[in-house]
Amino acid sequence: MHISLEHQVALVTGASSGLGAGAALALANAGASVVINYNRHAEPAEALAERIRQDGGKAIAVHGDVSKEDDVEALFARTVDTFGALDILLANSGLQRDAATVDMTLADWNQVLEVNLTGQFLSARAALRQFNRQGPRPWVSKALGKIIHMSSVHQLIPWAGHANYAASKGAVDLLMRSIAQEVGCQRIRVNAIAPGAVRTSINQDTTTGDKASRLLELIPYGRLGEVEDVANAVVWLASDAADYVHGTTLFIDGGMSLYPGFKDNG
């Protein structure tokens, strides 16, 4: 199977590092023109865009806070001004503000929900509006458009000390499935990816050093995830090879969501 996203335009939110950056690069390598959205870190986002351009691809870096309606509108307008259309949205921006619930500040609760959930709603809404506005582009894809929500194994697995994060990802699951139910009839494909413990800056403290071996006990497949594990799935899910995949969550977690603690105790 050869996957090409040539002539497609992909927007990746939160793409200055981690899963977003890896996915943006993979989408560009598959031939898509890529918009690399960032909020705080302009430099790595610009560097990634430059790297893609030097390799013969098309990419721009665009600032925008996904939790702000005006920023999201401006981000999508810039995408269409630059590349003429939008075919793929990877709503990836997300953050953690960890604390025991008893100590969690309202600010930490709100910030996580605003970025991880409201940001995904605003981005998806803007993508849906753009797909409808531009109409079918059958020479690039069978679908009118594709939306991929970046979720987490914690849409399923409760996570003590991270109630804000787990609540936001649980909500992303029903956000995704509700939108999918709503727009499938328009040939807009909506899905999610739920990564487990992938080695990125979001979980540096648990994926390195002593804590890494404890983390491995939670992963039946016996290794941490790499950014490419997720990026490859993004490319496939965005492509027509996955044209009949709609309203589902693809867990990319080495089996973390199999509750491995039950293997010999339950």
Give the residue closest to ligand BGC by C-beta: 152
Rg (C-alpha) for the chain, rounded Å, is 18
Minimal distance in Å, beta carbon 13 to ligand BGC? 16
Q: Helix and strand tally (H, E) in the chain?
A: 9, 7
Three-state DSSP at 14 gives coil
Minimal distance in Å, beta carbon 237 to ligand BGC? 18
Nearer to ligand BGC, 206 or 232 (CB): 206
Q: Which DSSP symbol is given to 260?
A: G
Which residue out of 38, 165, 221, 259 is catalytically annotated? 165
Report whether 67 contacts 51 (CB < 8 A). no
* Helix pair 119-134, 163-183: axis angle to 10 deg: 20
Nearer to ligand BGC, 145 or 196 (CB): 196
How much of the chain is in helix, strand and coil states, percent to nearest 5? Answer: 50, 15, 35
Minimal distance in Å, beta carbon 220 to ligand BGC? 14
Nearer to ligand BGC, 127 or 172 (CB): 172
Q: Which DSSP symbol is given to 118?
A: I
Which secondary-structure segment (H or E) carries 10?
strand 9-12
Minimal distance in Å, beta carbon 161 to ligand BGC? 11
Known active-site residue 221: no
- Residues making contact with ligand BGC (CB under 6 A): 96, 152-154, 196-197, 202-203, 206
Active site members = 165
